Chains A and B, each alone.
Chain A
Amino acid sequence: MPGITITVNGARREVQAPGDTPLLYVLRNDLELSGPQFGCGVSQCGACSVLVDGKEVRSCVLPVSRVAGKEVTTLEGLPARWAAQQGVAASAADRILHPVQQAWIDEQVPQCGFCQNGMMIKAAELLEETPKPTMAQIKTAFMSGPSPHLCRCGSYSAILDAVQRASTLMARGR
């Protein structure tokens, strides 16, 4: 089986997997990343979300062959992404959190936390494009893409609080 080279969180990785394997299984099982989660397998919930070239996508249905040559960012890669955007050395990324992650702690967002990977990925995408989103823009973001981002524990209002806080943290960071 020919290997596929993908770039994940800034590192080039060669994986031995059939090209039609959904990216999620490659990230979790081959690269042992634990951020993206299996929630539905049919792009209806968002638990598996990652950024591909900065755009939120559902890794549970995206064949790994489709991300060859593209930049994949998982939850694990958010601190380094933020560090790069701030012009901070990548080595510092081990010691920091992305403002979205910090806001998620500050606002005590997770209940079970299983969906929060996708929520934070979506929030990071939104805030890169729209640093000061309105409440309506935040809600629209979490309704966008192949499906709304679903949380069964009902942490939606905490997420709304946390996105606003992250926006403030990022403005301060810049």
Chain B
Amino acid sequence: MTTRRLQIDVHGATLTRRQFVKTGGALLVGFSLAGRSLFEKTAQAAASRNSLDASLSSSWFEIHADNTILMRTGKVDFGQTTAHTAYKQIVAEELNVPYEAITSVVMGDTDRTPDGGFSAGFLDYGGANLRKAAAYTHQALLELAAGVLHVEKGQLSVKDGVVSGGGKSISYAELVRGQQLKLTIPVTGDLTNMYGLTVTGDPPMKPTSQYTIIGKSFANTVTPSKVSAKEVWVTDVRLPSMLHGRIVHPRTLGSTLVSVGDLNKKRYPNAQVVVKGNLVGVVAPTEWEAIGASQQIAADTKWTDWKGLPGHPQLHRWLREQADWKTTPVSKSDKCKGEVAPALASAAKRLSTTYELPFMKHAPIGPTVAVGDVRSDGTVYVHTHNQNPQALRGQIAMMLGTSVDNVVVRIYAGPGHYGRSNGGNAGAEDEAVILSKAVGRPVRVQWMRPDDLQWSTQSPAGFSNIQIGWDAAGRITGYQADHYMPAMQDDRLVGALIAGLPTQPAPDVRPESDPIGSTVNGISDPWVYDQVANVAESGYGTFQLGQKASPLAIGLRDHSMRTPGQLQQNYPRELAISEAAASAGIDSIEFRLKQTSDQRLIGVLKAVREASGWQTRPSPSPKAAASGSTTVSGQGVSVMLRSNTYWACVCQVSVLPSTGKVSVDKYTIAVDPGIVINPLQLKRTIEGGALMGLSHALHEEMTFDESGVTSRDWRSYPILTMADVPELKVVILNHPEVGAYGGGSEAANALAVSAIAAAFYDATGKPARRLPLKAACVQSVLKA
């Protein structure tokens, strides 16, 4: 083994050779911290023993001498397939290697992945890190090849991992063979906060016009193990001496413990009760004993009473009349312009309406489960399924009053969360840790179905007042939207709250800080109708319902879901635009086309019109009826701009007025994401989003009384079933010239709700300004 120094600057990254080796060889891509003094916490976290050490092999990529490449990402795939397909495509494209060359993906584990941050905005946030890291790596490999081949770097080109120039060539594998090379790339940020680390600098990137891998359909490489029961799911984690745990959650969202029931030792001889503050847990060697014992304890445990919520039947009245919308600063859209009040006053015609949305649950199909392993040496391992493992690591360390150095989070496949855990906790993790610490053994806490619906966060309810004025030609002259919604991102650990242990602060008025965790209701639905001269969009925020009054500081905790805030703002905007079009006597798509010059928006609107069989005519339908036992049909449209992606959706629905039954017959969606990375996976994720949107529109409303959530199972919180599935049509418009990867599928769920509500109006001539369109609600609308 010999050592010969090598140090090359690669567009701000540093390539070094650590040593020559007789066998193997690799290029490892790690990071250094930019502005170290400014980001001391990051530096500490990154240097800690249970996090990534840039000098070790845990890094973004490993280019191996056997032509294989390993890729690591702190993001966790939740079924969007992004980490297993799109990320590999992005990396393979920048490295100029075949897609198949990336043979391993390491995801999420806090001691094995580099960047942290939430698993959301996969392509606009997470993809950018990998793309840049790959671009640096590509440049470093070119530098190496230039040295070996004695050819100027500018004369070299790479295809399928082989560098060629000046009549000579060498593969990446050969370039790294017999050496241990390290590329250190610059990053900034805070590993254990919401956003994690970001790769900085500007390495040259491949022009999108030269893409050969991005744009092709690749299968999800994790699918075979999932369908053949070979995947290790979070539900499969079993540690030696592990106990099964269940939590006896308080009787209400504000109840404190009066007395714990006595365990029936005859029936549950091996069970043990753990009490920490107001947190009551039961552990046992077998799962069935833990379940039985926890049910017995639950029946015999006494709690204080608490009534601090309005109850869902009074929700919107309470929000309008009693919620505090004054303490939190009002946010304004950056698209506000002109003078709306005079424009509305002088409009030829105007519409003034209000729209309401209920609380909705993320409702993962499997309740949260985690294994906590607090060891005698003070280290803590958490095995879970979570969208932000590094943030969880920070939260667990805070709860225990220990250093993040002592906490490791390991990630496994599990049920989708749709945003619920993007701030760091899925629900069961902290409770598993608390129980494990108490009993000195690993504990697996599995929430039961009612725990998951009643003790998790939810997507916040809201209401919006919309005013639209237009001229005789149907051009909107003034638009005013006032959106009202409680805080929507509470990342506090619920078990820690119940146990009285430290957590991060509750969402509060924090105008100066990050909007995440603030009561500020930012404008989340980008305005797309650029021809409108006068626009005013305001967001009013407030505290979470019951949270401040709850002795547990809990109440109704909210969390972002798929299109956070945007669904709550897009639904009223798009439904109001459709109602305005109807009032103006103009076809709803034509009406939208009049209000915009944005060619990408026009493109998706025209594409969805053609693909859906849209009838160009004003609404309501000539055959519309609000009564009778004959089915009536209608069509509705909606549009959205999200993460540089344009969407338009058409829904065709049937309504049976006599019963109030609404069915969606056909859902057509056109999407222009700029660069399409993987058409097959994009289509499947859009279909999934579309069907979740139908579920929101037709079924979903979290019910609650004055004390807590009363949705407790799939009967009391119904979601879409196979019987509701319409004909689905997805039209994908590829526009590589845009130069950016737009976001994936999540807009599809938000778009459905306003298109379906507009189609309901078209079919019946009656506006439904509240979701979901359940039979009882529909019948009252039709009778109005």
Could you tell me which A residues sit within 8 Å of B by CB distance? 17-18, 20-22, 25, 28-29, 32-35, 37-42, 44-45, 47, 74-76, 79, 97, 101, 104-105, 108-117, 120, 138-139, 142-143, 147-160
Contacts and interface: CB of A to CB of B under 8 A. Distances in A.
Nearest to A156: B725
Contact of A112 (B78, B219, B287, B690): B78
B165 interface: no
Contact of B721 (A28, A120, A148): A148
A24 B223 CA distance: 23
A37 B228 CA distance: 13
Contacts of B414: 112, 114
Contacts of B680: 108
A38 B428 CA distance: 15
B224 interface: yes
Nearest to A141: B722
Nearest to A117: B229
Given A105-B223, A157-B728, A151 B684 contact: no
A66 B728 CA distance: 42
Interface in B355-398: 363-367, 369
A150 B233 contact: no
A160 B725 contact: yes
A117 B226 CA distance: 9
B331 interface: no
Contact of A44 (B79, B81, B715, B725): B715
Question: Which of B226, B233, B728 counts the most chain A CB atoms within 10 A?
Answer: B226
A22 B286 CA distance: 12
A151 B688 CA distance: 9
A110 B79 CA distance: 7
Contacts of B44: none
B227 A157 contact: no
A152 B364 contact: yes
Given A17-B288, A29-B287, A112-B415, A105 B227 contact: yes
Contacts of A142: 721-722
Interface string B697-721: 0000000000000000111000111
B628 to A, nearest CB: 26
Nearest to B692: A154
Contacts of A42: 449, 713
A108 B681 contact: yes
B330 interface: no
Contacts of B252: none
Contacts of A76: 228-229
Given A143-B722, A154-B691, A113 B235 contact: no
Interface in B211-242: 219-220, 223-224, 226-229, 231-233, 235-236, 238
Contacts of B228: 75-76, 79, 97, 101
B695 A74 contact: no
Contacts of B219: 105, 108
Given A154-B687, A158-B684, A116 B722 contact: no
A47 B415 CA distance: 11
Given A47-B366, A105-B219, A40 B227 contact: no
Interface in B144-182: none
Given A28-B236, A47-B366, 14 more contacts: A25-B288, A34-B236, A38-B369, A39-B367, A45-B714, A104-B223, A105-B223, A108-B219, A110-B223, A115-B365, A116-B227, A143-B722, A151-B365, A156-B725
Nearest to B363: A152
B689 interface: yes
A140 B415 CA distance: 25
Given A34-B236, A42-B449, A152-B364, A111 B227 contact: no
B438 to A, nearest CB: 22
B448 interface: yes
Given A40-B449, A112-B365, A153 B688 contact: yes
Interface string B73-92: 00000111100000000000
B717 to A, nearest CB: 10
Contact of B688 (A41, A97, A120, A154): A154
Contact of A147 (B365, B416, B714): B714
Contact of A37 (B232, B233, B287): B233
Interface string B728-750: 10000000000000000000010
Nearest to A135: B725
Interface in B673-698: 680-681, 684-685, 687-692, 694-695
Given A21-B288, A104-B223, A114 B415 contact: yes
Contacts of B236: 28, 32, 34
A103 B322 CA distance: 54
B235 A110 contact: no
Contact of B286 (A17, A37, A45): A17
Given A40-B714, A147-B714, A28 B235 contact: yes
Nearest to B688: A154
A40 to B, nearest CB: 4
A154 B689 contact: yes
A35 B236 CA distance: 10
Contacts of A112: 78-79, 364-365, 413-416
14 contacts: A42-B713, A108-B684, A109-B223, A111-B81, A111-B684, A112-B414, A114-B233, A143-B721, A148-B722, A150-B721, A152-B363, A153-B365, A155-B687, A157-B691
B235 A152 contact: no
B422 interface: no
Contact of B226 (A116, A143, A154): A116
B32 interface: no
B688 A111 contact: yes
A39 B366 contact: yes
